[in-house]
Amino acid sequence: MKKLLILLLIVLISPIIGGSYGILHDQLTYTISPEYYTKFKFYQFGLMDVGNEAIFPHPRIQVSVVGFMATWWMGLPIGLILGLVGLKHLNHKQMFLVTMKAISITIVVTFITGLIGLTYGKLYLVRTGVSWYLPDNLIDIDNFISVGSMHNFSYLGGLLGLIAGIIYSVKQRRKTRLLNG
């Protein structure tokens, strides 16, 4: 019964963790390319009607909204899957600790993968061009493309991070099993 409560807790807090990650991620990418938001993301997430560049008095608030909206939902399946894997642990305390570390691993892998995407965008995509949407009135096309690449890679990073988190959790269970006979 305690493990099921821990599973429920993990499923409830994982979207908050995912959304918080999105806020921080998007604050970073806004710093690199404000135009990615003012000419694309703010419209994509319905914060402005399509038209000229979206200008807000405090745009980082809207960036936070976009970041949360873009990633909270990824926390739900990640938390559910890692929580279900965590049911294999000996007790609810170990389940919680190992699963939270698995979520942390997922976040780190996601971030590193995003940085790889940013680098790929800067070193490759800005030279070769992209087939995705580019607003007509971009001033800094290179950083727009680089940030778009980071965003795309970050979703891949979520999947890779989930796999890494599962592997960590399973290895921890095996390690505990060996220590306890």
DSSP H or E run through 177: helix 141-180
pLDDT at 150: 98
Classify 46 in phi/psi space as left (phi over 0), alpha (psi -120 to 50) or beta.
Answer: left
pLDDT at 181: 58
Check if the beta carbon of residue 29 is closer than 8 Å to that of residue 66.
Answer: no
| Spans of all domains in the chain | 2-180
pLDDT at 76: 97
pLDDT at 52: 64
Residue ranges of the chain whose pLDDT lies below 70: 51-53, 181
If we measure between CA atoms, which residue out of 29, 69, 37 comes closest to residue 53?
37
pLDDT at 30: 98
pLDDT at 48: 85
pLDDT at 54: 73
| Token digits of residue 176 | 């505990």
pLDDT at 124: 98
What are residue 151's phi and psi, to 5 degrees? Answer: -60, -45
